[in-house]
Amino acid sequence: MAQQVLDETVKQAIKQFTEMDEKICHFTNILGLLGWDARTYAPKKGKPIFAKAKGTLSTETFKLSVSKEMGECLDTLSQPDVFEQLDSETRACVRERKKEYDKSKQIPSDVYNEYVILASNANDAWEEARAKDDFSHFQPYLEKMIDMKRRFAEYFGYEKHPYDALLDEFEPGLTVEKLDPLFCDLRKKSIELLNRIQQSPRKPRNDIFNQNYDVEKQKEFAQFIIGKLGYDLDAGRLDETTHPFAMGINTGDVRITTRYEPENPRMAVFGTIHETGHALYEQGVNSEYEGRVIRRGSSFGIHESQSRFLENFVGRTKEFWTYFYDDIKAHFPHQLSGVSLEEFYRAVNCVEPSLIRVEADELTYNLHIMLRYEIEKGLIAGDIEVKDLPKVWNDKMMDYLGVIPPSNRLGVLQDVHWSHGGVGYFPSYSLGNLYGAQILNKVLQELPDFYELIQNGEFMKIREWLRENVHQYGKLYTPAELIKKVTGEDLDAKYLTDYLEQKFTKLYDL
Ligand code: ZN
């Protein structure tokens, strides 16, 4: 559209909005660093004291995002004729801040305070319930939490299903109506494929990993791999935590953590590659977006597509291990002596129904997500009651994976998400796989030598493709817009189901 002259009021609103946006970003960057510190090296005694300072800064940040001035700027800038004239970056920032503003305004502040306290208590109760393997200890808290989330859904509003309002927090624009057919297709094909795999006589050698792998050597290897993959160590660092994560403090400081288990080197190797995928995304966002709300990833699902792309579509390929096998053998000559590359490759791709989501393989992982999605939807719609969860959980585990957890600790109590109020989050993980596979299909068209590049260790070309097509845009586009821009199509489950079919048919001689 032709550039029009913006009147003074609008110019003033843009200036004021941009300043507030930047201030919120600065506070958020500091809060991010505090969060990283609390999850890594902060001394135990200082944590609760510092938590108060963090609380003060969070409150100030929140107040600014819902301030009268912010409301006025957003009112001016989101008028259709004004909005149209803004540059695309400012439009995206207004879209994001307005969404945040509207949502915050919809929840009465006393209800929100109640929620924050509930989340903290529910989290403590969950930890205790899990330690004691006693679901009844968590049940009343979870009942209150689900009730609270249903109220949130009413405050936020929705067209068809109350769960849509919660999904939208993690995957803007996504609804049950769009998600059901995608997941249904993925679930059916995954179960069918799993059944065939289980009947295959070709079983990988699992004993390879059941021995001691020196943790110091694992650390060395993890450092070596992330550098090769294009992670910029001048713009980040790798540390150790129980629950690995990636955190983008700013575009020049994106940190990752990992966990080393002596008896399970796969945890550190694939966990590190996964977090590197998240980190490459945030290191790759256009640096001019620094100080603006759009400097982060488009959505949880798109973020997860980047971690899973690296972990699975790059890191679990035969070509990847062709390139790295001598290196990993040099680190663990004793453990891997007599193990061929083929055996190693098959072992890192072993498919086996298991009880714990975070330890699941590439195929069965999505079934763990489907189960949680169905349960969350049922809880929010009122079709499932919290008290019945252990039974519903175990029944679905049997239906989808053919295994029944021997305890609630290994079943319904395994994930932290619900205790925090993170209802609507789980689908992001499988969406990441779906988006990732569709992006892979596009990469293969544009980089026909993709697997050769991996085999030759030329990861920078792959990183550059992702940076140019996905990473640089940050939150400029909504997830639906981005997947369409990158691949030319709406999200379609066939790319992931075809990929899984091809990969495992070959691996298991189906
Ligand atoms: Zn992730």
Q: Are residues 455 and 364 in the same domain?
A: yes
Strand partners, 246: 256
d(CA 429, CA 301): 6
Domain CATH for 430: 1.10.1370.30
Amino acid, single-letter form, for residue 5: V
d(CA 23, CA 34): 17
Domain count, the chain: 2
Asked which of 170, 192, 208 is the last residue of a domain, the reply is 170
Asked which of 140, 170, 200 is the last residue of a domain, the reply is 170
Amino acid, single-letter form, for residue 175: T
Which residues constitute the domain of residue 117? 2-170
Percent of the chain having pLDDT more than 90?
92
Q: What is the average pLDDT across 213-237? A: 97
Regarding predicted confidence, which is higher, 3 or 508?
A: 508
CA triple 277-294-272, angle to 5 deg: 15
Q: Are residues 127 and 181 in the same domain?
A: no
- Helix, strand, coil abundance in the chain, percent, nearest 5: 70, 5, 30
CA distances from 69 to 7, 299, 370, 402, 477 (A): 19, 27, 43, 56, 26
Q: Are residues 162 and 281 in the same domain?
A: no
Q: What is the average pLDDT across 487-510? A: 97
How many of the other CB atoms lie within 10 Å of CB of 329? Answer: 16
- The crossing angle, in degrees rounded to 10, of helices 389-401 and 176-199 is 50
Residue 317 has pLDDT above 70, yes or no: yes
Q: What is the average pLDDT across 246-256? A: 97
pLDDT at 49: 85
d(CA 315, CA 322): 11
**DSSP annotation string for 37-90:** HHHTT--TTHHHHHHHHHHHHHHHHHHHHT-HHHHHHHHHHTSHHHHHHS-HHH
- pLDDT tens for each residue of 270-284: 999 999 999 999 999
**DSSP annotation string for 263-292:** T-HHHHHHHHHHHHHHHHHHHHS-GGGTTS
Strand partners, 238: 256
d(CA 166, CA 151): 11
pLDDT band at 4 (very low <50, low <70, confident <90, very high): low
pLDDT band at 501 (very low <50, low <70, confident <90, very high): very high
Residue 2 has pLDDT above 60, yes or no: no
Instruction: Quote the radius of gyration of the chain (alpha carbons, Å).
Output: 23
Distance 275 CA to ligand 1 centre (A): 6
Distance 295 CA to ligand 1 centre (A): 18
d(CA 375, CA 386): 10
Q: Are residues 300 and 339 in the same domain?
A: yes
Distance 387 CA to ligand 1 centre (A): 30
Specify the DSSP class assigned to residue 131. H
Q: Are residues 212 and 269 in the same domain?
A: yes
Average pLDDT for the chain = 96
Q: Are residues 165 and 237 in the same domain?
A: no
Q: What is the average pLDDT across 468-479? A: 98
Distance 87 CA to ligand 1 centre (A): 32
DSSP strand pairing (253-258 vs 238-240): parallel
Q: Which tokens sit at 130?
A: 């899990």
d(CA 338, CA 33): 45
Q: Are residues 118 and 180 in the same domain?
A: no
Distance 278 CA to ligand 1 centre (A): 7
Q: Are residues 233 and 349 in the same domain?
A: yes
Which range of 36-40, 149-153, 207-211 scores highest in mean pLDDT? It is: 149-153
Which of 481, 482, 499 lies closest to 441, judged by CA? 499
* b/e code 360-393 from CB counts within 10 Å (16+ = b): bbbbbbbbbbbbbbbbbbbbbeeebebeebbebb
pLDDT at 23: 98
Residues identified as active-site: 275
Residue 335 has pLDDT above 90, yes or no: yes
Q: Are residues 241 and 368 in the same domain?
A: yes
- pLDDT tens for each residue of 121-148: 999 999 999 999 999 999 999 999 999 9
pLDDT at 201: 94
Q: Are residues 295 and 385 in the same domain?
A: yes
Q: What is the average pLDDT across 446-455? A: 98
Residue 6 has pLDDT above 80, yes or no: no
Percent of the chain having pLDDT more than 70?
99
d(CA 502, CA 191): 15
Q: pTM value? A: 0.95
Q: Are residues 189 and 137 in the same domain?
A: no
pLDDT at 242: 87
Distance 425 CA to ligand 1 centre (A): 12
**Helix/strand/coil (H/E/C) assignment for every residue in 144-181:** HHHHHHHHHHHHHCCCCCHHHHHHHHHCCCCCHHHHHH
- pLDDT tens for each residue of 83-116: 999 999 999 999 999 999 999 999 988 898 899 8
Distance 429 CA to ligand 1 centre (A): 7
pLDDT band at 1 (very low <50, low <70, confident <90, very high): very low
Q: Are residues 191 and 131 in the same domain?
A: no
Asked which of 170, 201, 227 is the last residue of a domain, the reply is 170
